[in-house]
Amino acid sequence: MSKGLLISIEGPDGAGKTSVLEALLPRLKEVYPGQVITTREPGGVAISEQIREVILDVDNTAMDAKTELLLYIAARRQHLVEKVLPELEKGNMVIMDRFIDSSVAYQGAGRGLEQTEIAWLNAYATDGHKPDVTLLFDVDSETGLKRIAANGEREVNRLDLEKLDMHQRVRKGYLDLAMVESERIKLIDASQPFDKVIEDAWQIIKSYL
Ligand code: TYD
């Protein structure tokens, strides 16, 4: 078992998880005895960032759903072994912006790929490592999509271009998963005012410190 703390943050597009993380970072650094590392999927290390380019390229409209899944899984494996596990080994806190649950929600519930196969691939890529805690930022799909559209700075990627019903399936996929893994996955209502969302996230993380 690793010595550090592994936290993942998850949620449908437009839930605001990345902004919440940025807001919480100074507080976390203040209280955590080791270093606090933030990283993201797909990406986080050079090889996985290259895979990310391929996955999210808006011109790759021909990409098959299983190809998409396998690319996310490959990016996950490299990022985990090259960066995440070594940091945990040093006793650091690693906060991952997306991890295993994104495959379940997006490629499973969203694209309709077989969940047992996704679970197997996730376990294969991670050697069974799971986060100590996962914060799931939940927001209804209409609000999420409106937030993305309103955020002019954010680059639109291939998955953002999916229709409303795909986003709705992704959200439901997350909520179903949170019921099954309620010990690990903590649900946060991300439609609340930003300060309240930050406070809810802080209270949960605090209990793991
Ligand atoms: P990103 O720009 O990082 O979006 P966000 O800020 O919402 O995290 O793009 C990542 C996209 O990839 C996002 O739409 C979710 C999707 N994704 C999957 O479909 N499966 C996965 O396993 C992962 C990690 C991400």
Instruction: Determine which residue's CA is closest to atom 5 belonging to ligand 1.
Output: 13
Alpha helices (runs of H) in the chain, residue ranges in sequence order: 17-31, 46-56, 65-79, 85-89, 100-102, 115-126, 141-150, 164-180, 194-206
Q: What is the pLDDT of residue 152?
A: 73
Instruction: Determine which residue's CA is closest to atom 23 belonging to ligand 1.
Output: 102
Q: How far is the CA of 41 from the centre of ligand 1 (A)?
A: 7
- Check pLDDT > 70 for residue 88: yes
- Phi and psi of 12, rounded to 5°? -65, 160
Instruction: Determine which residue's CA is closest to atom 17 belonging to ligand 1.
Output: 102
Tell me: the pLDDT tens digits for 154-183? 777 887 777 889 999 999 999 999 999 999
Helix H or strand E encompassing 187: strand 185-189
In this structure, the number of other CB atoms found within 10 A of the CB of residue 2 comes to: 17
Going along the chain from its start, the domains and CATH numbers come out as 5-206 (3.40.50.300)
pLDDT band for position 2 (cuts 50, 70, 90): low
Residues within a 6 A CB radius of ligand 1: 13, 18, 40-42, 56, 72, 97-98, 102-103, 106-107, 157, 159
| Annotated binding-site residue numbers for ATP | 11-18
Q: What is the pLDDT of residue 149?
A: 85
